[in-house]
Amino acid sequence: MINGHTQLFGIIGNPVEHSLSPAMHNAAFAELGMNGVYIPMRPADLAEGFRGLRSLGFIGVSVTVPFKVAIMEFLDAVDPVARNIGAVNTLLFERDGDHCRCTGYNTDWLGSNQALGEELQLAGATVLILGAGGAARAVGFGLIEAGASVFIANRTEAKGRALAAQLRCPFVPTDQLAELRADALINTTSVGMAPHADALPIRAELLPRFAVVMDIVYAPLTTRLLREAAACGCRTVDGLQMLQYQGAAQFSLWTGREAPHRVMRQALVSELRSRLP
State the catalytic residues. Answer: 68
Report d(CA 3, CA 206) in Å as an integer: 55
Q: Beta partners for 69?
A: none
Query: CA 169, 174, 177: angle at the middle one, nearest 5?
Result: 80
Q: Is the dihedral of CA 110, 115, 121, 126 positive or negative?
A: negative
Q: Give residues with Cβ within 8 angstroms of 197, minimum separation 6.
A: 220, 223, 224
Report d(CA 250, CA 111) in Å as an integer: 10
Q: Are 218 and 240 in contact (CB under 8 A)?
A: yes
- Other beta carbons within 10 Å of 144: 17
